[in-house]
Structure 1
Amino acid sequence: MRLLTPEHVILDCGANSKRALITEVANILTSIDPDRVMEVVMAREQLGSTGIGHGIAIPHGRMPDLQTPMIAIGRHIEGINFDSIDGEPVHIVVLLLVPDSDDRQHLELLAQLARTLQQSSVREAILHARSTQDIADIFSELVKKE
């Protein structure tokens, strides 16, 4: 299963706020209503920031009518204040959407992403990738390893 395609990667986000950054990433998921994505993801953000530290945020949510999990990634070179647990700016945003009916898969994917992105080598590879294909390939390798 390929969770990430090059079409769902933004190499250089231009957003200047947390909400704008999530919106920018949500808008590349053209098969889903971005307003609905924002509603779901921002409701989750109200519970606490999904900025997990080390320059990473994993905004996520459950979407009704979604058949399979979807991931989109935005890379922000300068970094954005995301109210992260370590107070550091976020450079990599991984938007995770899962079907409303599947709690277990949601938690497993979230845990897998968090574990993987805690590795400095993975973060460095994403930050230095030259193309959307390079980032998609990084994620396809990670899914194989799990």
Structure 2
Amino acid sequence: MDIAGVREIFNERLIDLDMKSVNKREAIEELTDSLYKEGHIIDCKAFVDDVYLRENEGQTGIGNHIAIPHGKSDAVKITSIAFGRTKNDLAWESPDDEPVHVVILFAVRNVDKTTVHLKLLSQVAMALADDATLDKLLKTNDKTEIIRLLSQEMN
């Protein structure tokens, strides 16, 4: 696989703007379920276990109501990203101790875990460093806009 950008591994079917989750585990499982339905992962339990292995290494809440959990796993068939937003306050370890409302779940094939994973993470992190982008992600109901916001290449 060549090093794809966010736009290549992200689609509207992997965006849920009305998640029902009321806690971190439910949020991860809800987004994992959408990845499974799309055929991007082959084993939900194995993938969630791998996400939690990573969660145990350090916080994935980045502040500003956003968390970026990720799992590198043999259960991942296609490296992809699922985006979820909820009105519920999700308790999540993050630097500002604020509840999370946006969860961006990375599902990374083990063979992609170095280059692809880091490129995608840095692309999303750069997009999230912009306050206007953050604000739009928390408010927009346009899935195409979310893909555009997270996949903008920074100059």
Give the TM-score normalised by structure 1: 0.87
Determine helix, strand or coil for the equivalent of 2:56: helix
Q: Which residue of the partner structure matches residue 122 of structure 1?
A: 133
Q: Tell me how far 1:43 sits from its aligned partner.
A: 1.0
Q: Tell me how far 1:6 sits from its aligned partner.
A: 0.7
Q: Distance in 2 between matches of 1:20 and 1:76?
A: 11
The C-alpha deviation readout for 1:30-87, integer Å capped at 9, x for no partner, is 2112212201101111112210111111101212264642000001123311111221
Q: Which residue of the partner structure matches residue 15 of structure 1?
A: 21
Count of residue pairs brought into register by the alignment: 144
Q: 1:51–1:84: 8 Å Cα contact kept in structure 2?
A: yes
Give the letter aligned to residue 52 of structure 1.
I
Q: Which residue of the partner structure matches residue 109 of structure 1?
A: 120
The C-alpha deviation readout for 1:75-101, integer Å capped at 9, x for no partner, is 112331111122111111110122212
Determine helix, strand or coil for the equivalent of 1:76: strand
Q: Assess, with a 3 A threshold, how the Cα gap between structure 1 residues 113 and 137 changes in structure 2: closer, same or farther.
A: closer
Q: Which residue of the partner structure matches residue 93 of structure 2?
A: 83
Q: Tell me how far 1:124 sits from its aligned partner.
A: 1.4
Give the TM-score normalised by structure 2: 0.82
CA RMSD of aligned residues (A): 1.9
Q: 2:79–2:108: 8 Å Cα contact kept in structure 1?
A: yes
Determine helix, strand or coil for the equivalent of 1:114: helix
Q: 2:75–2:109: 8 Å Cα contact kept in structure 1?
A: yes
Within 5 Å, which residues of 2 pair with 1:135-146?
135-140=146-151, 142=152, 144-145=153-154
Q: Assess, with a 3 A threshold, how the Cα gap between structure 1 residues 65 and 80 changes in structure 2: closer, same or farther.
A: closer
The C-alpha deviation readout for 1:93-115, integer Å capped at 9, x for no partner, is 11012221231221221122122
